[in-house]
Amino acid sequence: MSTVGFIGLGIMGLPMAANLVKAGFEVAGYNRSPGKIAKLAEQGGTAAGSVAEAVRGADVVITMLPDSPDVQAVVLGEDGVLANAASSTLLIDMSTIRPDVAREVAAAGAERGVRVLDAPVSGGEAGAIEGNLSIMVGGADDDFAAAASVFDAVGGTIVHVGPAGAGQTVKAANQLIVAGTIELVAESIVFLEAHGVDTEAAVKVLAGGLAGNRILERKAAGMLAREFTPGFRVELHDKDLGIVTSAAREAGVTIPLGALAAQLMGALKAQGHGGLDHSALLKLVEQLSTHDKA
């Protein structure tokens, strides 16, 4: 598999597509914003003028889109991926969407002879740039094996977690954990500052103990500096938490801390901060606290 059509060149998609180019794949990229297509072309990719142009002739098609309706429109639409893909094509949806939509896409692909994997990722912009994303994959064993070289070009931890939709279910759990961890790190930072502790020193020692986690490693410095340039936007995490809470209700599972994290993320978005990094939950913790940061 040497030719990839890549649809969705956003914060995550563009560096992922660039890493595929570096790995030797021929990558035709398409994005609604032409500027992103030009950036891929500067890095050795080919500019596609439409979804159809990116898909035709591709061995593999990757979609990296914001939400379930976007994937449905691009994949199932009149001139979308399935309408233009050859029967031998492997479609890998790396977006974060509802598990039921992932199963819908897989079933539609099967009707046309197109193999489909749902393979959402975790690791943020840094992981996408570094090519060491965690990839959780749902779909058939043979299709997972066929995609190995593609996944190796963009990921570090790559695990087949079950049939169609399973990747998205695992990603929902991932987003639940990440949101809760960000909230607890935010609360800890505000708590430490209120007590006059050297927070940089505190974060260093916390990261070395049982409280150590990737949020402390990758997000704490920005949180301490109140620098919330998006690696993963609040509005997207809010969407993901909606997926989690809905799926939990359907399964009869109680997620009280997750539900609270979802409410807080939604409140931050409602305040107009949807474009900030999700670590901006710190802003909400400060607003709800009586302590004023010096």
Per-residue pLDDT reduced to its tens digit, 37-68 = 999 999 999 999 999 999 999 999 999 999 99
Contacts of 216 (CB under 8 A, 6+ apart): 185, 203, 206, 207
* CATH 1.10.1040.10 domain extents, the chain: 170-288
DSSP letter string over 207-267? HTSTT--HHHHHTHHHHHHT----SSBHHHHHHHHHHHHHHHHHHT---HHHHHHHHHHHH
According to the model, what pLDDT value does residue 211 have? 98
pLDDT of residue 291: 75
CATH of range 3-162; options 3.40.50.720, 3.30.450.60, 3.90.1150.10, 3.40.462.10: 3.40.50.720
**Tokens matching residue 142:** 């043979």
Active-site residues, by number, are 171
* CATH superfamily ID and name for 170-288: N-(1-d-carboxylethyl)-l-norvaline Dehydrogenase; domain 2 (1.10.1040.10)
Task: Please identify every stretch of the chain with a pLDDT value under 50, giving residue numbers as ranges.
Answer: none
Taking residue 165's Cβ as centre, other Cβ atoms within 10 Å add up to 22
- Residue ranges, comma separated, of all CATH 3.40.50.720 domains in the chain are 3-162
